[in-house]
């Protein structure tokens, strides 16, 4: 099954290129396919002429190909040309076409009483292959700074809804693939408000060793969002941020962490792995320090002004910075003080663990490379 991918494009095109795109279409040959309703008889008044317009000339009769969703496509059904002379029996009849609508999805043929009909024809896109364009502004500038200048969505964001919705980017989207590589991320999504107003982005980050990818085995899926209310609880203000989560006058997009209520026990060494400093765990002292649990923020109060965030700048190198600051339980701090007592070090309440790392994409050499720079893992009061 082939379905069109919804795309949000940035920037404007030159007039010749725009004109060419508006004339583009797509054909797919299908068949033979079994349908439970026959196609209508040929109507000479609905004959498709060489310069036809599908949006005006698709007839009301519908064909329902199996496992085919209704979309902006027409079914071009061939018929023997009734005007062709019947004297030449050896010559195959010429074909003429009618454009039929697509009916509702038939997910499975139920082998009704019949008769069933085998059809063969073409799917043609009704509308040109042009994507909806973003209005000029910070978000348009941000998308144009992505290497491909597009966001490829799995579906069209819903219009007739009274709720906030999230539409995922496709797996092959370059930006989504980048976050998968650098944050073990999945489900990068566009947040839209009723009426398709864009309200930011969200993603799920896996608390797993750097480079393992967004697998199923993880201590936690941490949700980060650039929605205004999430940014407000993290920074205490959104004065310098646009409604989409972009810094004013800059193409830097900010994601902030949302409360996590269903997370297993997390240790400092998990944060060490996440930021790419796993080699440090070979040190026995680091192993001891990393074996006491930390508290994953589960409320807005625990996240308040803690700067648990991801900063992303597209440009040339897709620079990405992740920072986590989580509190340590009193029991964990007491155990850690026992370990540190020979060094005459004592942690007072409150105590937090802070981890920070930046990543960038290098395309200057023959091979593309990802560079990760772990900045710090600190136990701080």
Q: For residue range 312-342, what is the model confidence (pLDDT) as tens digits?
A: 998 878 899 999 988 877 777 777 777 777 7
Which of the pair, 155 or 375, is modelled with greater confidence? 155
* pLDDT band with cut points at 50, 70 and 90 for residue 353: confident
**76, 147: one domain:** no
Mean per-residue pLDDT, 298-307: 86
Residue 117 C-beta-side C-alpha neighbours within 13 Å: 13
pLDDT at residue 227, as a whole number = 92
14 in any annotated domain: no
Contacts 24+ apart (CB under 8 A), 129-137: 129/21, 129/24, 129/25, 129/26, 130/21, 130/22, 131/6, 131/7, 131/8, 131/9, 132/7, 132/8, 132/9, 133/8, 133/9, 133/10, 133/11, 133/12, 134/8, 134/9, 134/10, 134/198
6 in any annotated domain: no
User: pTM for the full model?
Assistant: 0.65
**171, 298: one domain:** yes
Residue where a domain stops, chosen among 125, 146, 167: 125
Name the 3-class secondary structure at 122.
strand
266 in any annotated domain: yes
Q: Name the token pair of 21.
A: 């795109």
pLDDT at residue 136, as a whole number = 77
Q: What is the rounded distance in angstroms from the CA atom of residue 306 to the CA atom of residue 297?
A: 10
Q: What is the rounded distance in angstroms from the CA atom of residue 157 to the CA atom of residue 285?
A: 51
Closest CA to 322 of 240, 249, 222, 243: 222
Question: C-alpha 12: how far from its chain's center?
Answer: 23
221 in any annotated domain: yes
131 in any annotated domain: no
Q: Is the pLDDT of residue 106 over 50?
A: no
10 in any annotated domain: no
**212, 259: one domain:** yes
Closest CA to 291 of 269, 314, 315, 262: 269
Residue where a domain stops, chosen among 99, 125, 151: 125
Closest CA to 226 of 258, 248, 184, 249: 258
Q: What is the rounded distance in angstroms from the CA atom of residue 222 to the CA atom of residue 224?
A: 6
Q: Is the pLDDT of residue 370 over 50?
A: yes
Cα–Cα separations (whole angstroms), residue 40 to 59, 73, 103, 109, 304: 10, 18, 13, 20, 65
Domain count, the chain: 2
Q: Which range is least confidently modeled, 84-93, 102-111, 315-324, 369-378?
A: 102-111
Closest CA to 370 of 322, 320, 324, 323: 320
Question: Which residue's structure tokens are 């317009």?
Answer: 53
Torsion of CA 366, 150, 370, 252, to 10 degrees: 130
High-pLDDT (> 90) share of the chain, %: 10
Contacts 24+ apart (CB under 8 A), 343-347: 347/379, 347/381
pLDDT at residue 13, as a whole number = 47
Q: What is the rounded distance in angstroms from the CA atom of residue 329 to the CA atom of residue 292?
A: 9
Residue range 61-74, pLDDT digits in tens = 777 766 454 456 78
Residue where a domain stops, chosen among 100, 125, 150: 125
pLDDT at residue 4, as a whole number = 46
Q: Name the token pair of 363.
A: 């395309």
Domain of 92, in residue numbers:
25-125
Task: Name the range with the highest mean pLDDT among 132-141, 158-167, 247-256, 331-340.
Answer: 247-256
* pLDDT band with cut points at 50, 70 and 90 for residue 226: very high
Q: Name the token pair of 160.
A: 């007739």
Is residue 185 within 8 Å of residue 218, measured between CB atoms? no
Is residue 254 within 8 Å of residue 247, measured between CB atoms? yes
**299, 368: one domain:** yes
Q: Is the pLDDT of residue 3 over 50?
A: no
* pLDDT band with cut points at 50, 70 and 90 for residue 1: very low
Mean per-residue pLDDT, 194-217: 76
Mean per-residue pLDDT, 192-221: 76
DSSP code per residue over 157-187: PPSS-SS-EEEEBPTT-HHHHHHHHHH-EEE
pLDDT at residue 254, as a whole number = 95
Radius of gyration of the chain (CA): 29
**93, 241: one domain:** no
**32, 165: one domain:** no
**155, 194: one domain:** yes
**171, 80: one domain:** no
């Amino acid at each position: 099954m082939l379905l069109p991918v919804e795309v949000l494009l940035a920037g404007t095109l030159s007039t010749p290129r725009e004109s060419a795109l508006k004339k583009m279409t797509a054909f797919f040959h299908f068949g033979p396919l079994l349908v439970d309703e026959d196609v209508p008889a040929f109507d000479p008044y609905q004959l498709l002429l060489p310069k036809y317009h599908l949006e005006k000339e698709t007839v009301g009769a519908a064909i329902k190909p199996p496992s085919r969703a209704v979309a902006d496509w027409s079914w071009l059904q061939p018929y023997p040309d009734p005007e062709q002379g019947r004297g030449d029996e050896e010559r195959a009849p010429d074909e003429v076409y009618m454009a039929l609508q697509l009916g509702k999805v038939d997910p499975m043929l139920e082998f009704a009483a019949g008769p069933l009909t085998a059809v063969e024809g073409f799917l043609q896109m009704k509308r040109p292959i042009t994507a909806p364009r973003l209005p000029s502004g910070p978000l348009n500038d941000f998308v144009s700074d992505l290497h491909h200048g597009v966001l490829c969505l799995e579906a069209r964001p819903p219009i007739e809804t009274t709720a906030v919705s999230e539409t995922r980017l496709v797996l092959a989207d370059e930006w989504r693939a980048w976050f998968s590589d650098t944050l073990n991320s999945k489900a990068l999504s566009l947040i839209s408000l009723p009426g398709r107003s864009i309200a930011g982005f969200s993603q799920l980050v896996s608390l797993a060793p750097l480079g393992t990818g967004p697998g199923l085995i993880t201590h936690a899926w941490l949700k980060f969002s650039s929605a205004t209310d999430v940014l407000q609880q993290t920074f205490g203000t959104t004065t310098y941020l646009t409604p989409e989560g972009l810094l004013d006058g800059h193409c830097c997009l900010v994601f902030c962490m949302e409360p996590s209520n269903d997370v297993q026990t997390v240790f400092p060494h998990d944060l060490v792995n996440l930021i790419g400093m796993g080699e440090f765990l070979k040190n026995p002292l680091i192993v001891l320090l990393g074996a006491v649990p930390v508290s994953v923020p589960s409320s807005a109060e625990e996240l308040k002004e803690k700067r648990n965030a991801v900063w992303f700048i597209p440009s040339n190198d897709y620079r990405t910075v992740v920072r986590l600051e989580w509190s340590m339980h009193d029991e964990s701090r007491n155990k850690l003080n026992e370990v540190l007592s020979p060094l005459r070090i004592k942690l007072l309440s409150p105590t937090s663990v802070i981890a920070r790392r930046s990543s960038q994409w290098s395309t200057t050499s023959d091979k593309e490379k990802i560079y990760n720079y772990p900045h710090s893992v600190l136990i701080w009061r």
